[in-house]
Homo-oligomer: A and B are copies of this chain.
Amino acid sequence: MASDCAPESAFVLMARNAQLLEHVKLEITELNPKAKVAVIIADFSSDKPIEKLEEVIKALTHGEQIEAKFIFHNAGTIGDVAKSSSNLTNTQDWHDYLHINLISMIALNCQLYKILSEINDLKTIVVNTTSLAALQPISSFTQYCVGKAAREAYFRNFALETDSRVLNYSPGPVETDMITEIGKSSFDPQIREMFSPTSTQSTDSHRKRLTPKETVSKLIAIIDKNEFDNGGRVDYFDS
């Protein structure tokens, strides 16, 4: 994504892991040496607004002519795949899952939207990383499905009620660390096999996995074209 942006773009990266953040920062500056990159170590399981967010964004954008404003929501966890939906009885576990995957995301979104709205009158473009799981059940992914459906519903209302452009983007099956966890922990033997590292790479489910680069290129093309329904969803596999 960094290589598709204007040379003097500013990035604010937020995640828990400082080392990985610095790694992404390095990648961005290698691709785009003039980019300004700030990292904020933020734990979305905490219950506090992100500190210094406004100062960091103001410092990066002060005196610059801002031509486009984006928020990308990409953080997420898979949830408890070891239990069927009829055994997810621990209410605290549900609160924890929804805090990370929905509620803290909403709080951050409100915080960022307000800060970006004060910069200029351009519409902020908000991209919510979603999944086919928002629409379809997947065995052992109950919490993930619930979280993704809830996020899309939130952003449909956000598109309706604010002066923004909102895209729910479903990136397709991407190679991520989640895969290993699912292969180990699912209560469903078929799902464990499907996500197992020893599973043959020639199965359909593997052959269809995308690289982050493939799916991000598609996302950028969709944003560039700017024809998506506001608050609607677009899948990588949509034509």
Task: Report which A residues bind B (CB closer than 8 A).
Answer: 47, 49, 84-89, 91-92, 94-95, 98-99, 102-104, 106-107, 109-111, 113-114, 133-134, 136-142, 145-150, 152-154, 156-162, 188, 231
Q: List 27 A-B contacts (CB under 8 A).
A: A47-B92, A49-B89, A85-B106, A85-B161, A86-B109, A86-B114, A86-B158, A86-B161, A89-B107, A94-B103, A95-B98, A95-B99, A136-B156, A137-B153, A137-B159, A137-B231, A139-B157, A139-B160, A142-B158, A145-B153, A145-B154, A145-B156, A145-B157, A148-B153, A149-B149, A149-B150, A149-B152
Residue of B with least CB distance to A142: B157
| In-complex Cβ contact of A85 among B145, B150, B162 (8 A) | B162
Q: Please indicate the chain B residues that have their CB under 8 angstroms from the CB of A88 in the complex.
A: 106, 110
**Given A157-B137, A158-B85, A158-B86, does the pair A91, B104 have CB atoms closer than 8 Å?**
yes
Q: A86-B110, A137-B159, A137-B161 are in contact. List 18 more A-B contacts (CB 8 A).
A: A47-B91, A47-B92, A84-B162, A86-B162, A88-B110, A89-B110, A89-B111, A91-B99, A94-B103, A95-B103, A137-B156, A138-B157, A141-B157, A142-B158, A145-B153, A149-B150, A150-B150, A161-B188
Measured between alpha carbons, how far is A208 from B72 in the docked complex, in Å? 40
Give the dominant DSSP class at A's interface: helix
**Given A88-B106, A104-B91, A110-B86, does the pair A146, B142 have CB atoms closer than 8 Å?**
no
Q: Please indicate the chain B residues that have their CB under 8 angstroms from the CB of A188 in the complex.
A: 161
Measured between alpha carbons, how far is A79 from B102 in the docked complex, in Å? 16
Q: Please indicate the chain B residues that have their CB under 8 angstroms from the CB of A152 in the complex.
A: 149
Measured between alpha carbons, how far is A160 from B188 in the docked complex, in Å? 12
Measured between alpha carbons, how far is A110 from B103 in the docked complex, in Å? 24
Is the Cβ of B153 less than 8 Å from the Cβ of A84? no
Smallest CB separation, A160 vs chain B (Å): 4
Measured between alpha carbons, how far is A26 from B221 in the docked complex, in Å? 62
Q: Please indicate the chain B residues that have their CB under 8 angstroms from the CB of A103 in the complex.
A: 91, 94-95, 98
* Top 8 A-B residue pairs of the complex, sorted by shortest distance between their CB atoms: A149-B153, A137-B156, A150-B150, A137-B160, A142-B157, A137-B157, A85-B158, A94-B103
Q: Please indicate the chain B residues that have their CB under 8 angstroms from the CB of A150 in the complex.
A: 146-147, 149-150, 153
Measured between alpha carbons, how far is A43 from B99 in the docked complex, in Å? 22
